[in-house]
Chains A and B, each alone.
Chain A
Amino acid sequence: MKSYVLQRLVYLVFLLWMVSVVTFVVIQLPPGDYLSTYISRLEQAGEDLSDEEVDNLRRQYGLDLPIFLRYFKWIGQVVNGDFGFSFDWQQPVRDIIGERLALTFTIAILSALFTYAVAIPIGIYSATHQYSLGDYVVSIIGFIGLAIPNFMLALMLLYSAWSSYELNLMGLFSPEFVSAPWSLARIGDLLLHLPIPIVVIGTGGTAGLIRVLRGTLLDELNKQYVITARSKGVGEVKLLFKYPVRVALNPIISSLAWLFPSLISGGTITAIVLGLPTAGPMLYRALITQDTFLTATLLMFVTILTVIGTTVSDILLVVVDPRIRMERAAS
């Protein structure tokens, strides 16, 4: 067990390094470097740069170095907590991303909780009531949830809130609360705005989870031990929750590994449509304005968060399911 956790942690370090390489490659892809964007913006603002100043800037940002040296220079700064300067926001990247990442993470976790809270009861219901009307209704809703693009669902919910209650639920706060200090009223306002993003982001994964849970539970329910227990007179409820449900929940835990990336991923577009103050819209804007350091940092952190989430879920699965440990010990 300990050695497995250790092994996963070593692998995690390797993954984090891969993340940094991929991020670096991605930000090198756009044609023209960020300095030329920056210079053209300065020129638009009326400032004139001499060739010497341009050369100085190039050297300062290490653009005269070959690509792998540039990578080491960049990663060296990142490790020291210096993520560079955002041209667009005119602030160091470090100062502007903290709150956004925290909110992104919070919304992803809340969406995951929502997903489980909805998927587990429904999955158990539709497995125990196979081919009943409720099973069909749930399956159809699940399929539709799977098929609706996140942003469309967001738009439709916004539209219905607007047309029936005159509520504008864009963003996480109403305009008067955006920069207000925390108070009960502000929390209430937040609670009013939270459900739409959480429901929208959670829906996609919910449908998939219901299907997985229903399938595994159906398999379990047909097994001999269930029949044996029933023949011995164990009550239906106890029979259901004592073993089959527990076994069927295992894939749910392993699903955290893909659920988390998909929540962050789906959250990006939803956040852009809803105008949430999370990492998604910021990344989008940074991509459009070619704000390289901000893009790199956001992309890296979003990925790091998911990679850590994946690792945690893998370790959790071994903790919960003893059979995996047995297999490892045997091999």
Chain B
Amino acid sequence: MLQRLGIRRGESQSATTQFDESYYLASQWQLVWRKFRRHRLAMFSLVVIAFLYSFALFAEFYSINDHQQRHVKYAKAPPHTLYFVDEEGAFHIIPFIYELKQELDMDTLQRNYTEIKSKRYSLKFFVEGKPYRLLGLIDTNIHLVGVDEPAVYFPFGTDELGRDLFSRTMHAARISLSIGFLGVVISFCLGCLIGGISGYFGGTVDLVIQRVIEFIISIPQIPLWMALAAALPPQWSSIQVYFGITIVLATIGWTTLARAVRGKLLELREADFVMAARISNMGDFDIIIKHLLPSFASFLIVVLSLSVPGMILAETALSFLEIGIRPPAVSWGVLLQDAQNIRSLSQSPWLLIPGLFVIVTVLAFNFLGDGLRDAADPYKQ
């Protein structure tokens, strides 16, 4: 209790000392950044999100193995354990793994894996491997981690076909993370347009649009998403399905954004500073650019960051049900398809690992949004 009081007093002191000259000279965005930095959880989430998106951008670099290659010798292999201490008790600063050997249990017909303690392989960093093109620009063959042949390293184990789950998770980040982003951008455009019209014109137009939005919100989303996603033609290519799913998600997702935009627009229109600007003979265009847009932008960033997780969860759910992204394209939901029943789960629980990435992403975006919401209005103490 005392400790907490101490911390809080410390905080308030630093807050008052911040009220020096630089505080009054700082621009709005500088103030937002200052306030955001104090929200530790949000800062941490920002780092996590940066990492996750780096997985998506540099998936090939993080991948240890080719994500589509089937290692027949290692089907359904559990994740490798990293060791620091070897059989003789000697400590190694660079972790190592033991090669796995497959044994077929003749009674249950299950594959069991045992570690061959005599075959030790140290991890190597920045190793040369399969050539790829980084960001589609630079030809290279450097991968973050690897082990010497003939061993293969599976940090997350493998699926039924012996494909490296870790590399697949990295590649899946591409679709899962970008679909959330793209879906939000599309619903954002729709939401701004329709919400803007609603808030700007008011009256009957506003009434009709609001009723339509209420109606769409009252429809259970997932059944509708399922129906729309199932309507995508089966002969579509992966790219077409990807955009199809994004549009399906956005057509229903725009409503909350439109509502938020309208509400904020109505609120801002009546704000004192807009009135002040109008009295001082400022033109409409200048008011929009210099006053409305900045106060609106910070608000929009908050709303956007809070709507990304919903999109990601929806994509995961649809792909999990096999009506979203279709293999061979991989998303986290596609990877979770393998974990659909208790039997495969009890044999290989590591198949749920891609789900952890979903959870972490959703949590990070929620915390980031919370932090941004606090920071969006830097003048509020």
Of the candidates B222, B321, B346, B358, which one forms a contact with A159 in the assembled complex, judged by CB atoms under 8 Å apart?
A: B346
B355 touches A149 (CB 8 A): yes
Query: Complex Cα distance A306/B218, Å?
Result: 7
Min C-beta distance of B23 to chain A, whole Å? 27
Q: Provided the pairs A155-B352, A159-B346, A303-B220 are in contact, do residues A287 and B323 lie with their beta carbons within 8 angstroms?
A: yes
Taking CB as reference atom, which chain A residue is nearest B339?
A155
B218 touches A257 (CB 8 A): yes
Q: Which B residues are in CB contact (< 8 Å) with A307?
A: 215, 218-219
B221 touches A29 (CB 8 A): no
Of the candidates A29, A151, A266, which one forms a contact with B320 in the assembled complex, judged by CB atoms under 8 Å apart?
A: A151
Of the candidates A156, A266, A287, which one forms a contact with B227 in the assembled complex, judged by CB atoms under 8 Å apart?
A: A287
Min C-beta distance of A28 to chain B, whole Å? 9
A284 touches B227 (CB 8 A): no
Q: Is A162 an interface residue (CB 8 A)?
A: yes
Q: Which B residues are in CB contact (< 8 Å) with A302?
A: 220, 223
Q: Is B230 an interface residue (CB 8 A)?
A: yes
Q: Is B72 an interface residue (CB 8 A)?
A: no
Interface residues of B (CB under 8 A from A): 4, 211, 215, 217-224, 226-228, 230-231, 233, 309, 313, 316-317, 320-321, 323, 336, 339-340, 342, 345-346, 349, 352, 355, 358-360, 362-363, 366-367
Q: Which A residues are in CB contact (< 8 Å) with B220?
A: 261-262, 264-265, 268, 302-303, 306
Q: Is A245 an interface residue (CB 8 A)?
A: no
Q: Which B residues are in CB contact (< 8 Å) with A69?
A: none
Q: Is A221 an interface residue (CB 8 A)?
A: no
Min C-beta distance of A158 to chain B, whole Å? 6
Query: Complex Cα distance A261/B214, Å?
Result: 12
Q: Mark A3-32, 1 if CB is under 8 A from B, else 0.
A: 000000001000100110010001101110
Question: What DSSP secondary structure best describes chain B's contact surface?
Answer: helix
Q: Which B residues are in CB contact (< 8 Å) with A288?
A: 230, 323
Q: Provided the pairs A144-B359, A272-B321 are in contact, do residues A26 and B231 lie with their beta carbons within 8 angstroms?
A: yes
Of the candidates B222, B336, B349, which one forms a contact with A268 in the assembled complex, judged by CB atoms under 8 Å apart?
A: B222
A287 touches B230 (CB 8 A): yes
B346 touches A147 (CB 8 A): no
Q: Which A residues are in CB contact (< 8 Å) with B346?
A: 159, 162-163
Question: What DSSP secondary structure best describes chain A's contact surface?
Answer: helix
Taking CB as reference atom, which chain B residue is nearest A305?
B220
Of the candidates A31, A151, A257, which one forms a contact with B317 in the assembled complex, judged by CB atoms under 8 Å apart?
A: A151
Q: Which A residues are in CB contact (< 8 Å) with B367?
A: 143
Min C-beta distance of B246 to chain A, whole Å? 17
Query: Complex Cα distance A78/B349, Å?
Result: 46
A162 touches B366 (CB 8 A): no
Would you mind naming 8 contact pairs between A and B with Cβ atoms under 8 Å apart?
Answer: A15-B218, A31-B233, A149-B316, A151-B317, A265-B223, A268-B223, A287-B323, A307-B215
Q: Is A152 an interface residue (CB 8 A)?
A: yes
Query: Complex Cα distance A261/B221, Å?
Result: 8
Q: Is A170 an interface residue (CB 8 A)?
A: yes
Q: Which B residues are in CB contact (< 8 Å) with A262?
A: 220-221
Query: Complex Cα distance A268/B219, Å?
Result: 13
Taking CB as reference atom, which chain A residue is nearest B8?
A131
Of the candidates B222, B224, B349, B359, which one forms a contact with A26 in the assembled complex, judged by CB atoms under 8 Å apart?
A: B224
Query: Complex Cα distance A257/B213, Å?
Result: 13
Given contacts A146-B366, A269-B222, could you give 9 more A-B pairs where the C-beta distance is less than 8 Å? Answer: A11-B211, A29-B228, A149-B317, A149-B359, A156-B352, A159-B345, A168-B342, A265-B223, A302-B223
A269 touches B4 (CB 8 A): no
Min C-beta distance of B110 to chain A, whole Å? 15
Taking CB as reference atom, which chain A residue is nearest B222?
A265
Taking CB as reference atom, which chain B residue is nearest A204?
B313
Q: Which A residues are in CB contact (< 8 Å) with B309?
A: 147
Q: Is A124 an interface residue (CB 8 A)?
A: no
B362 touches A306 (CB 8 A): no
Q: Which A residues are in CB contact (< 8 Å) with B336?
A: 151-152
Q: Is A280 an interface residue (CB 8 A)?
A: yes
A152 touches B352 (CB 8 A): yes
Min C-beta distance of A166 to chain B, whole Å? 11
Query: Complex Cα distance A261/B215, Å?
Result: 11
Query: Complex Cα distance A283/B345, Å?
Result: 25
B366 touches A149 (CB 8 A): no
Q: Is A299 an interface residue (CB 8 A)?
A: yes
Taking CB as reference atom, which chain B residue is nearest A273?
B340
The 4 A-B pairs of least Cβ separation, nearest first, read A265-B220, A29-B231, A147-B362, A287-B230
Q: Which B residues are in CB contact (< 8 Å) with A273?
A: 340
Q: Which A residues are in CB contact (< 8 Å) with B4?
A: 131
Q: Is A54 an interface residue (CB 8 A)?
A: no
Min C-beta distance of A34 to chain B, whole Å? 12
Q: Is A310 an interface residue (CB 8 A)?
A: yes
Min C-beta distance of A206 to chain B, whole Å? 15
Q: Which A residues are in CB contact (< 8 Å) with B345?
A: 155, 158-159
Q: Is A148 an interface residue (CB 8 A)?
A: yes
Q: Is A295 an interface residue (CB 8 A)?
A: yes
Min C-beta distance of A279 to chain B, whole Å? 8
Q: For window 244-283 of chain A, which residues contact chain B by CB distance below 8 Å?
A: 257-258, 261-262, 264-266, 268-269, 272-273, 280, 283
Taking CB as reference atom, which chain A residue is nearest B229?
A287
Q: Which B residues are in CB contact (< 8 Å) with A266?
A: 222
Taking CB as reference atom, which chain B residue is nearest A168?
B342
Query: Complex Cα distance A148/B309, Å?
Result: 11
Q: Mark A132-172, 1 if CB is under 8 A from B, else 0.
A: 00000000000110111111100110110011000010100
Q: Which B residues are in CB contact (< 8 Å) with A152?
A: 336, 352, 355, 358-359
